[in-house]
């Protein structure tokens, strides 16, 4: 299959560190590049952390010597047992090609507990940093990094260690963003996962039927909207009438509340020939249901299986012995998608998603926990609550934790 000729612009696009300068105290301007030298002499990196108290970031606040950071101290899928919030970790020094980013928002992902359980790399032993994505401002940088970035610039990134007040990011891996908005954070993992997987594996074209499970979640919201941009008919499963309403607002043709409706019966009745593409992130019974609902030559994309992550093995029992026969009978296929294996496509995807977000062609729903029982997710302490909130199925859109920063000028 190929993309249809009258497809949208989205479809068409698919073809084609801290170097402290030993100098008198001053405030750096966000618009001014970091100087290559001071008084003609080559700047010397200061390696003694005690010097940091003599410097201010671009908002006039002292850059501290210590910070809060979350660290995995025990391998477990129970995030509260696995992770320790450390209150006096040293603020790291950026190397020559690095940025020191003060995090303003960090993203919460279902796979955070897979990471805390050591499932992605069995050779890594605690303690290690956690958190996949963040967005904030550059508050210090290395000399080479200053060729491309300036103090005060808004950047985002994807790398382990985001659950911290400050993070070192290589200037080669940083993603410049227009401003520090949580909406841009939603694109880093959730948006690009939907964009790249549907492009590379979905083979969407006009008139096809797409089923998105957990459709009102962080990545599901993008799978729904991008499928609609490909002129597909979209079905989305969710867990409440409020989420059904949200799905309708972003273009979903047929939301199904699995708490009040029998998904199997609805699909049999309304889609007797099956669905052409499934974007699946739940696993367990929902995965079995999705396999049974595939059309002839249907394709199922697995981007996760959240229902099993909290178990000892990370998996829910399934009927795999029947799977070959079911796929053969329909000439259907199942393929997994792991974002790390598609970073060659990441830059193009992120660029286009940012453009769509800025042009308001894409809804980037953020859940900051305003409806959570204990209130908004503010500060690293609330990451624990945010994880619980996700696994209770409460969120609509991407769960984001805000890390506030009070500016206390020393001048």
**pLDDT at position 321, please?**
74
Pairing of strands 209-212, 275-280: parallel
pLDDT of residue 19: 33
Give me the count of residues in the chain: 411
Tokens representing 403 are 């890390």
CB-based burial, 33-52: b 16+ in 10 Å, e otherwise: ebeeeeeeeebebbeebeeb
301 touches 202 (CB < 8 A): yes
In the block, residue with structure tokens 């999705």: 290
Tokens for 31, please give them: 């618009």
Q: Which residues in the chain come in under a pLDDT of 70? A: 1-58, 60-61, 318-320, 406-411
Which pLDDT score, from 0 to 100, does residue 1 have?
A: 40
- The conformational region for residue 178 under phi > 0 = left, psi -120 to 50 = alpha, else beta, is alpha
Between the alpha carbon of residue 326 and those of residues 212, 267, 274, 318, 336, the distances in Å are 20, 17, 13, 13, 17
The distance from CA 153 to its chain's CA centroid, rounded to whole angstroms, is: 20
C-alpha 106/C-alpha 405 separation (Å) is 14
Return the residue matching tokens 């992130």.
281
Number of other CB atoms surrounding residue 311 within 10 Å: 12
pLDDT score for 312: 86
Structure token pair of residue 45: 């990196």
Helix (H, G, I), strand (E, B) or coil at 341: helix
**Token digits of residue 43:** 């700047």
Helices (H), 117-252: 182-186, 192-197, 220-229, 241-249
Strand pairing category for 66-72 and 83-90: antiparallel
Q: Where are the alpha helices (DSSP H) in 103-199?
A: 112-116, 182-186, 192-197
What's the pTM?
0.86
Phi, psi angle pair for 402, to nearest 5°:
-95, 135
The confidence score (pLDDT) of residue 7 equals: 42
Q: 306: closest CA among 237, 260, 252, 205?
A: 237
The answer to whether the peptide bond before residue 127 is cis (omega within 30 degrees of 0) is yes
340-355 per-position pLDDT tens digit: 999 999 999 999 999 9
Over 252-313, what HEC string results?
CCEEEECCCCCHHHHHHHHCCCCEEEEEECCCHHHHHHHHHCEEEEEEEEECCCHHHCCCCC
Tell me, what's the pLDDT at 82?
98
Q: CB under 8 Å to 120, separation ≥6 — which residues?
A: 111, 114
Residues 6 or more apart whose Cβ sits within 8 Å of residue 329: none
Taking Cα atoms as reference points, which of 93, 90, 91, 164 lies closest to residue 130? 164
Cβ of 22: how many Cβ atoms within 10 Å?
A: 13
Tokens of 213: 């499970």
How far apart are the C-alpha atoms of 321 and 179, rounded to whole Å? 50
Query: In this structure, are residues 150 and 30 in contact, taking their beta carbons and an 8 Å threshold?
Result: yes
- Cα–Cα dist 230/349, whole Å: 15
CB 116 within 8 A of CB 130: yes
Distance CA 295, CA 275 (A): 5
Locus of tokens 């970790």: 89
pLDDT of residue 61: 65
Distance CA 322, CA 334 (A): 14
């Amino acid at each position: 299959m190929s993309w249809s000729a009258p497809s949208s612009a989205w479809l068409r696009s698919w073809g084609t560190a801290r170097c402290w300068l030993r100098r008198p105290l001053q405030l750096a301007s966000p618009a001014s590049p970091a100087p290559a030298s001071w008084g003609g002499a080559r700047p010397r990196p200061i390696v003694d952390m005690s010097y940091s108290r003599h410097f201010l970031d671009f908002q006039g606040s002292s850059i501290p010597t210590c910070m809060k950071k979350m660290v995995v101290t025990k391998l477990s899928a129970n995030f509260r047992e696995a992770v320790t919030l450390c209150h006096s970790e040293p603020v790291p020094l950026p190397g020559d090609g690095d940025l020191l980013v003060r995090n303003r928002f960090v993203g919460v992902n279902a796979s955070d507990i897979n990471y805390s359980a050591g499932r992605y790399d069995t050779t890594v032993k605690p303690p290690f940093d956690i958190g996949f994505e963040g967005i904030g401002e550059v508050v210090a940088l290395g000399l080479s990094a200053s060729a491309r970035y300036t103090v005060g610039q808004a950047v985002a990134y994807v790398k382990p260690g985001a659950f911290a007040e400050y993070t070192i990011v290589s200037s080669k891996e940083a993603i410049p963003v227009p401003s520090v908005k949580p909406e841009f954070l939603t694109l880093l993992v959730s948006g690009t996962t939907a964009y790249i997987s549907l492009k590379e594996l979905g083979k969407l074209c006009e008139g096809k039927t797409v089923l998105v499970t957990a459709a009102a979640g962080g990545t599901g919201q993008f799978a729904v909207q991008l499928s609609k941009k490909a002129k597909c008919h979209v079905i989305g499963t969710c867990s409440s009438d409020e989420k059904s309403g949200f799905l309708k607002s972003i273009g979903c043709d047929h939301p199904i509340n699995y708490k009040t409706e029998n998904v199997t019966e609805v699909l049999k009745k309304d889609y007797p020939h099956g669905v052409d593409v499934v974007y699946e992130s739940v696993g367990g019974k929902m995965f079995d249901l999705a396999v049974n609902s595939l059309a002839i030559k249907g394709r199922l994309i697995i981007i996760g299986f959240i229902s099993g992550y909290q178990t000892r093995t990370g998996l829910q029992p399934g009927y795999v012995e029947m799977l070959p026969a079911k796929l053969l009978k329909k000439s259907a296929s199942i393929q997994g998608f792991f974002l790390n294996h598609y970073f060659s496509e990441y830059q193009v995807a992120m660029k286009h998603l940012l453009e769509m977000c800025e042009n308001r062609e894409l809804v980037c729903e953020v859940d900051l926990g305003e409806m959570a029982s204990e209130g908004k997710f503010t500060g690293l302490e609330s990451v624990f609550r945010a994880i619980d909130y996700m696994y209770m199925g409460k969120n609509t859109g991407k769960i984001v934790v805000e890390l506030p920063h009070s500016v206390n000028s020393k001048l």
